[in-house]
Structure 1
């Protein structure tokens, strides 16, 4: 009686499609090739001759939906033309209370004032500078004259305030710089770590820098120094109009 010879074909069983796959007996272990190229490309073919969901996906055929579509979020009609509402969904506007709210500021004389009270309904200029910086020492007297004409000498005073954010190496250097060249404006205390957060928030990479803010905390311009040098007091009228401050002021 002849013994059964080993077959080169493998049956997948009675429950599968009648298809056999040829193996390469000479191929190394772990690198056996199943069937021919045409057979390998049709592995997803089911017994009924239709593609499975996975095979449809890789074949690029759209898969039919079997259930209801999920409801989409709809913006109310009354808000569709409201740009401020739509922009608030993306990036809410900052407010001055978020920038300096709840903090104490110091004057050149060492007096303490609340930031919210001192900056209410004003155009605020954040002045990033240092006493050891030659450009800072060059621009500060010009800013001092600008401030005095708007606030100290104007009647009524212009809605404008400067807040000095020091980049000095010590509190003593900051104090000497303020007493020597600064006007009667305000400053963030040297030991307040919020100085570093402000430099990061407004992308301060070089000094001096004068960042002009609305009462809401939004930036009007970060080129305040350049505008003062080129246009003088005329630039302040543009800042007031951009800030939407309604006050009887003529620049």
Structure 2
């Protein structure tokens, strides 16, 4: 699960004295959502240029419906704690941030191959990487990219479920799993086919 990246850590809200530090709070804020990991720095000119666009993108998507489907964690690459705290004060109140100096930020930067700032890594609720850097998508497509991400996440989840379903059926051919995916056959339909084959 994507939220489990931050298990055992504290995340900050826009007010530095407001923290999420229990598993229950983290789950409530991040579980079962598309998660955006924003790698940026206040000193970075490209980050300052991109941020207003990201804020508009966020505000258009976080109506009461979208807010339940999307989460954002800022992983600051700031040089000093004062820069980081200034960013926290200015960020939207629904964003979360890793505290300054937490080594997890660097670990996640390495894990997801972040090589430039700003970078927005999009994770499915399962933790799978949907987009390694969505900055260009957000700039070019605006909020329509959210629908693409949601569909990709649903497809990933559905494929995992279908793969589990295949294990309970004896296979008749090597292509049967593909056929099931393509035509979404149900057990009842298969039984009818088998009965017809036996009659012939």
What is the TM-score normalised by the length of structure 2? 0.69
Q: For 1:224-235, list aligned pairs within 5 A.
A: 224-235=134-145
> In the alignment, what sits opposite 1:129?
40
> In the alignment, what sits opposite 2:179?
none
Deviation at 1:177, TM superposition (A): 2.2
Structure 1 pair 136–102 and aligned structure 2 pair: CA distance change class (3 A): same
Structure 1 counterpart of 2:19, from 103, 112, 116: 112
* Gapped regions of structure 1 (runs ≥ 5): 1-94, 247-251
1:240 pairs with 2:150 = yes
Structure with bigger RCO (C-alpha 8 Å, 6+ apart): 2
Task: Give the distance between the partners of 1:98 and 1:201, measured in 2 at CA.
Answer: 15
More helix by share: 2
Q: CA RMSD in A?
A: 1.8
User: C-alpha deviations, 1:132-185, integer Å up to 9, x for none?
Assistant: 00000010111111111111xx232341111000000111111112323x2221
1:186 pairs with 2:68 = no
Task: Give the distance between the partners of 1:150 and 1:224, measured in 2 at CA.
Answer: 15
Deviation at 1:99, TM superposition (A): 1.8
Task: Give the distance between the partners of 2:27 and 2:111, measured in 1 at CA.
Answer: 19
User: C-alpha deviations, 1:159-216, integer Å up to 9, x for none?
Assistant: 1111000000111111112323x22211011132111101110111111000000111
Aligned residues between the structures:
149
> In the alignment, what sits opposite 2:74?
164
- 8 A Cα contact 2:2 2:35, kept in partner: no
1:138 pairs with 2:44 = no
